[in-house]
Amino acid sequence: MKNTVVNLLRSRELAVALVLVAVVVLTALKSESFVFSADGWRNLLVTPSMLMILAVGQAAVIITRNVDLSVGSVLGLTAYMTGRIFIEAPGIPIIVVVLAAIALGAVLGLVNGLVIAFAKVPALVITLGTLYIYRGVFLTWAGSDRINASDLPDEFLALGTRQIASVPVLSIAALAVLIAVGYYLYYSRGGREMYAIGSDPGAARLYGLPVTRRVISAFVLSGALAGLAGVVYAARYGTVSSGAGLGIELEAVGAAVIGGVAIFGGSGTVWGAAIGAALLVTINRALPVVGISDFWQRAVVGGLILAAIVLYRVLALRQERRLSIERDTRSLA
């Protein structure tokens, strides 16, 4: 009994990881340089890091039975701010800029959380609203202006390519975020309370858990990570136009769902979400290599999300059915 449950929980992350490995191996067979070249190796690791950071924040929000659709706009806004700061204050230490971006993201997340907690309107609607508002602020601020690589200091741009022991710095940053948030959600009281809240919000209130505070913190976390992702965007691409981060919020939600985070909250892990993000990004890069057209690339991503949802639903239904049969036979015995 215990083992089957544990295995079921584990298998979601494991299954997605296996699919990811299979994609990498199959693509590498077709084109060796996808993995076995300096560029290929670096891209394999560094490309998913931005979406991974977003997916980790998104997973924390979804676990509390909410969703944050504003992260794409937050990412764009913070990426642009990063560039602006370097232009306005040349020579400013990079770490200060990174912290400023995280702080701006956290504030925008706090706005989301406060409105959701106190207006008692579903997060889907509120963050859809702030998605447009934050994007509007960005467009007004930037106008037709854009940040170019030449505006950014070299050592900042070097972050996008620098490696430590052949692991890109940005991947290390994403991994650090993953470990920190994963640790919090798995080990701390606050993290467990987030799962409890998503599992049954009514019971959480009846139990006396600080529901409002935890939900707000989840949105602050998601916003802060979107801010960090904005810095990663600027460092990696070097240019920030008004289209930065457009539509990436849906990829973050998709990554979390593919990684086994239940869309109605209460279960799933940030590890799964991160692997889901890596799978999404890697498939997008692998399909052109094996010669699949643009149309099919998007269809494959969509199919992946549907397949994941159907699979988890079938597994859940099967488990529920089995448990209720077990219960009926036991109550008769």
Partner 1 sequence: MGELVREAVLVLEEVRKSFGATAALTSGGLTVEAGSIHALVGENGAGKSTLVKIVAGVHRRDGGVFRFQGDDVDFTSTADAKAAGIAVIYQEPTLFPDLSVAENIFMGRQPLKSGRRFDRAAMCEQAEALFQRLGVQLNPRRIARGLSIADQQIIEIAKAISLDAALLIMDEPTAALSGVEVDRLFAVARGLRDEGRALVFISHRFEEIFALCDTVTVMRDGAYVATQAIAETNRDEIVAQMVGRELGELFPKVPAQIGDTVLRVEGLHSTGEFHDVNFEVRAGEIVGIAGLVGAGRSEIARAVFGVDGYDSGSVHLGGEAIPKRDPRASIRAGMAFVPEDRRLQGLVADGSIARNIASVIRRGLASAGFLTSRSEIRAADGWAARLQVKTHALDMPATTMSGGNQQKVVLAKWLSTDPSLLIVDEPTRGIDVGTKAEVHRLLSDLAGQGMAIVMISSELAEVLGMADRVLVVCEGRITADLDREQATPEAVMRAATQTHQEAGE
Residues interacting with partner 1, by CB under 8 A? 1-2, 5-6, 183, 186-189, 192-193, 195-196, 198-200, 202-210, 262, 266-267, 319-328, 330-332
Q: How far is the CB of 327 from partner 1 (least distance, A)?
A: 4
Residue (63 or 277) nearer to partner 1, CB: 63
Residue 109 burial (CB count, 10 A): 30
287, two tokens: 């399909």
Q: Concatenate the DSSP letters of all residues of 259-275 into one string.
A: TT--TTSS---HHHHHH
Q: How far is the CB of 267 from partner 1 (least distance, A)?
A: 4
Note whether 227 and 105 are within 8 A (CB): yes
Residue (157 or 309) nearer to partner 1, CB: 309
Q: How far apart are CA 258 and CA 275, in angstroms?
A: 9
Q: How far is the CB of 177 from partner 1 (least distance, A)?
A: 18
Residue (152 or 216) nearer to partner 1, CB: 216
Q: How far apart are CA 258 and CA 58, in angstroms?
A: 13
Which residues contact residue 286 at a Cβ distance below 8 angstroms, ignoring those fewer than 6 apart?
23, 24, 26, 27, 34
Residue (120 or 330) nearer to partner 1, CB: 330
Locus of tokens 């036991």: 330
25, two tokens: 């191996």
Q: How far is the CB of 109 from partner 1 (least distance, A)?
A: 23
Q: How far is C-alpha 215 from the geometric centre of its chain's CA atoms? A: 17
Residue (144 or 331) nearer to partner 1, CB: 331
- Cα radius of gyration (the chain): 21
In angstroms, what CA-CA distances link 312 with 167, 307, 319? Answer: 33, 9, 10
Q: How far is the CB of 208 from partner 1 (least distance, A)?
A: 3
Residue (46 or 308) nearer to partner 1, CB: 308
Q: How far is the CB of 216 from partner 1 (least distance, A)?
A: 16
Q: How far is C-alpha 237 from the geometric centre of its chain's CA atoms? A: 19
Q: How far is the CB of 332 from partner 1 (least distance, A)?
A: 7
Residue (102 or 204) nearer to partner 1, CB: 204
